Amino acid sequence: MRDIAEIGLDAARSGGASYADVRIVSDQQQDVQTRNGALASLRASESLGAGVRVLVDGAWGFAAGTDLTRDGIAATARRAVEIGRASAILKIRPVELCPVEALEATWEAPVKEDPFAVSVEEKIATLLHIDAALRKVPDIKVAVASMTFGRQTRRFASTEGHWLVQTRTTSGAGYAATAVGAGDAQTRSFPNAFGGQHMAMGYELIRSLPLLEQAQRVAEEARELLAAAPCPSGTWDIILDSSQLALQVHESCGHPAELDRVLGSEANYAGKSFLTLDKLGRFVYGSEHVNITADSTTPAGLGTWGYDDEGVPASSVDLVRRGLFVGYLTSRETAATVGATRSSGAMRADGWNRIPLIRMNNVSLEPGEGSLEELIASTGRGVYMETNRSWSIDNLRYNFQFGCEAGWEIKDGKRGRMLKNPIYTGITPTFWGSCDAVCGAEAWRLWGLPNCGKGHPGQIMGTSHGAAPARFRGVQLLGAP
């Protein structure tokens, strides 16, 4: 494949490109889902193609194709040059790139058991066992269980001398049980909502998750929610479990820190950001307990690679340190725009036919001290919430509303009755400013979100977020019937 990439680079240079890179990506996917005792879907796909990105007269051009012959890749490169030359007519300023060292390297995420070597029959049988356990509980009317697997190999070459080969395998599994009765429907999910837990691991992830062991509890909680009291309205202290907090970090910390949103060069599929350039190093984002990092080296994270799609090595950067906003997720272009000397390595594309964008890697809230039990014991009046059910956030990532699957009342330091339909709302810096405690490392967990969307045409990509349960004082709850 290296010779094919070099042909693409040569064709781009010959056409007038001052810079070019070629990404040759092979992708394999498998999804299995059961529903109410039957196989609901079984999908498998493979793809192979190349994307060529060029700078011509100070503007980007991009083209992609599946013809990886010598003539095919050269034609793709020439098409990218034509697009770049046309784009240059409307450019506001020429693109500049901060430097990166040219490297030749191979990187592969560790895998103990190849998920594609495990039979489909075994996967279906496992899901059907879970399904049966869920539906043993009365009032469970819908049981859905799924597994998903992926393997992607990326080969990256550039006119600056890069040749990088990277392979990563991902696995995920989860389920949900919906109870129906008395004019109501309530759902509980495990290990997380929206498909469960996903990590850059092999089938060993599936074997390590207590999927069958937790099925009865999950279904019983869904049934219990039918008769639970509605979550109250008003101002309450809340404690969020780590999975809900992971999504809170994703929506109100990760996305606004993407520098292309701030600069306005990318505003599709979620808008821009309130974290304007004047706030860097000056803006109080949260309390002193809030420390947020973007780390593309985190083991088993969906945002973990050896190098991004510009050849920048993986690294860890601070976004928020002791409540102060101190860093962005950047590309080589956006880093140069704001005078930085290096990119944070956040440029990724979801496949060969998409141009790289700034994407979250593994954006995490660092742990503090203590256990969840200790945190509850020190809370006089509040609500503990688990597992996301819904979310909404404005196009600047400033005003938000989140709903969870289940809540529990905290009274005099004790976890009490279950509450249904818990919803909280807030303004991003005010909310994070109300954080007065984050649990310790033993409660910290990395959660994989496989379906983050950005760009137009849309790109769906996995990110991961680590968090431990945390408490927020004086949060507005919106009771729902």
The string of pLDDT tens digits covering residues 449-478 is 999 999 988 999 999 999 999 999 999 999
pLDDT score at 69:
97
**What does the DSSP assignment read for 4-51?**
HHHHHHHHHHHHT-SEEEEEEEEEEEEEEEEETTEEEEEEEEEEEEEE
Boundary-marking domain end, from 194, 227, 260: 227
pLDDT score at 471:
98
Which domain, by its residues, includes 246? 230-477
Residue type, 315: S
* Residue carrying structure tokens 């049934």: 223
User: Cβ neighbours of residue 312 under 8 Å, at least 6 residues apart?
Assistant: 100, 332, 342, 343, 344, 345, 347
Total domain count, the chain:
2
Same domain (yes/no): 198, 311? no
CA–CA dist 451, 465 (Å, integer): 13
Task: List residues bridging with 47 in a β-sheet.
Answer: 27
CA–CA dist 132, 216 (Å, integer): 10
* pLDDT of 338 above 80: yes
3-state secondary structure 387-430: EEEEEEECCCCCEEEEEEEEEEEEECCEEEEEEECCEEEEEHHH
Residue of 379, 411, 431, 407 lying closest to 479 (CA atoms): 407
Tokens of 96: 């500049």
Output the domain CATH number for residue 125. 3.30.2290.10
Same domain (yes/no): 266, 204? no
pLDDT (tens digit per residue) in 29-83: 999 999 999 999 999 999 999 999 999 999 999 999 999 999 999 999 999 999 9
CA–CA dist 155, 313 (Å, integer): 14
pLDDT score at 480:
63
**What does the DSSP assignment read for 184-212?**
EEEEEEESSTTT-EEES--THHHHHS-TT
Same domain (yes/no): 163, 215? yes
* Residue carrying structure tokens 């809230």: 365
Q: Give, in order, the Cα–Cα distances in Å from 273 to each of 263, 323, 332.
A: 9, 18, 19
In a 10 Å sphere around its CB, with 0-12 CB exposed, 13-18 middle and 19+ buried, how is residue 88 labelled?
Answer: middle
Same domain (yes/no): 279, 175? no
SS3 content of the chain, % helix, strand, coil (to 5): 25, 40, 35
pLDDT (tens digit per residue) in 148-162: 999 999 999 999 999
Same domain (yes/no): 114, 246? no
* pLDDT of 11 above 80: yes
